[in-house]
Each structure stands twice: as structure tokens, then as C-alpha cells.
Amino acid sequence: MNPVQEKIQIGMDLKKASNEYLDLCELRYSKDTFVEKRTLCQKICLTWGKIDITDITPSMVSKHLQQRAMQTSKNAYNKDRKNLLAMFNWFRKTYGIVNEAVARVDRMPEERKPEYLPPTEDIDKVKMVASGQDRIMLECYYYTFARRSELFDWIWDDVNFEKEWYRLWTKKRLHGDRQADYFPMPKSYETHRIFAILYFGFSAITDFFLAGHEFKTNKLSAITILLGGIFSLLFAVGFALQEYGVIPKNMIVYLTEWIYFILVMSWLLLKILPPKKK
């Protein structure tokens, strides 16, 4: 008995086949890659019209790619060629439709200019000007070398402060599998923990003073501010416990924080407690 063979399709409409290919791409690739492939399919379907896949010639492919090179760049030529080749390979694997029109068109030699790498001084100037969320994101980019999408995909499990590593997830793998790359925590992170201690410590002190001032007029507002100060203090102590296990000489910062805390709490208690009756 002969083995059952898959039915090979002789021809198929380009628009229909490309739509089925795009349905798969939308599930498999990132949004940017999908949009890139969809734009290409829309252009060739508009240019070539209603046509069977087997009727597409190397001349048609070459003409489209040359226009891309003249209108945009040689890099755009090669990118379209790569995407067309991937789509025609999918036609062959899925439907058995063989057309070597794209494979017969050579890749365009291109000259890529080296990307601009700003000096450290310029990066520091930008970080000094930035504030709030922008400053936080710039610091993350600077110390992790991560892409924006990789940072936005982060969860707490991707950052390990105890073992001092972080991981970035990527789909730039064979078959598009999502895999993680592990990196050591930047050495300068130890310095950043000191700044975090100072920041949260002084934030707590400020909140304690404001809470004491507000208590006379608005007790609810004072309690809210006081809770914010307590949370800031907990963050400061948490960072301090991490830091002082590595650099004992900075214990003076730890002692200073607690001295401020004791002074502020004593002042608050004197303000909150009713005066003694004579």
C-alpha cells in the first residue's frame, strides 16, 4: 500500500493566500513585525492585482524591490525581500505551491552607518534634566540596556535583589520562542541604594513634620500623611538592611535615620498628647 500523500495545490489567489499567512503572523509575531508584513502584502496586492501565486515572476518582484530601494533605502529592499521569501516559503510548506520568483532575486548590498553612541557626559546631562517617571525610565535603560517592550513586560519575579540578577524576555530566537536572558545587577546599583535610603528617609521626615502641623486643623489629613511617612521609613529601612550587609561603613547613615526618626516621633507625641493638668 502506498503511503497517503498530502494533496498538492497547483495554484492559489495571492490575496487569499496572503490573508491566511497574515492570520498566522498576527498570532506568532510581535505587533511591529505583523504590521510590517501586513503593509508589504497590501502593497504587492495593490500593485500586482488579482493574480495567481504561480504567475508571479522574478521581474515583478525585482521591480517592487527596486522601487523600495529608490524610495526608502537598500535596507528596506532587503527587508521586503526577506519578508516575501518567508511568505513564499510558507506557501510551499502549507499548500505545496512552489514559486522561486523571490529566491531568484539577489539580495542588495547595503552600507550601514554606525549608530550614534552619545558620550557619557551627554547622557548624564539628559538624566539631570529629566524628572519623575522619565528619570526612572532613563535610569532603567541606562543600567539594563533593555528595550522599552522588555521593561514593560517586567514583573517582580524578573528582578532578584537578593541574588542580584535580573532577566529580560525576548522572542528573537529560532521559531520565535519566548526565552529569558539573565544578567548580573549593575555594580553601581549599590550606590543607588544609598540614594534610595536618603530619599525615602528624608521623605519620611518631611511627612512626619507635615502630619504634626496638620493634626491641629485636620486630623484625617494628618493621619494620611503620617501613614505615607511610615511607608517611606519602611522603604528606607529595607534598603538600609540590604546595603549595610555589604558596606558596613555606611552604618552612620542608618544611625542618622533612626536619630531623626526618634526626634520626630518625640516631637509628634508632645504635640499630640494633651497637656497635663495642674
Q: For the chain, which residues score pLDDT lower than 70?
A: 1-11, 132-133, 161, 174-176, 187-202, 231, 234-278
Determine the Cα angle at 49 with ends 44 and 54, to 5°. 80
Regarding pTM above 0.85, the answer is: no
Residue 111 host element (H or E): none
Determine the Cα angle at 239 with ends 237 and 245, to 5°. 100
Q: What was the pLDDT predicted at 43?
A: 95
Give the type of residue at 103. A
The CA distances from residue 129 to 125, 132, 200, in Å, are 6, 10, 21
| pLDDT (tens digit per residue) in 190-227 | 445 544 555 566 677 778 788 887 777 887 777 777 77
Q: What was the pLDDT predicted at 158?
A: 85
Q: What was the pLDDT predicted at 215?
A: 78
| pLDDT (tens digit per residue) in 225-262 | 777 777 677 666 666 665 555 444 445 455 555 655 66
Q: What was the pLDDT predicted at 50?
A: 92
- Let me know: does 167 contact 158? Beta carbons within 8 Å: yes
The CA distances from residue 264 to 45, 211, 232, 233, in Å, are 73, 11, 14, 12
Domain boundaries, the chain: 14-95, 120-186, 190-272
- Exposed e or buried b for every residue in 83-104, given b needs 16+ CB within 10 A? bbbebbebbeeebebebebbee
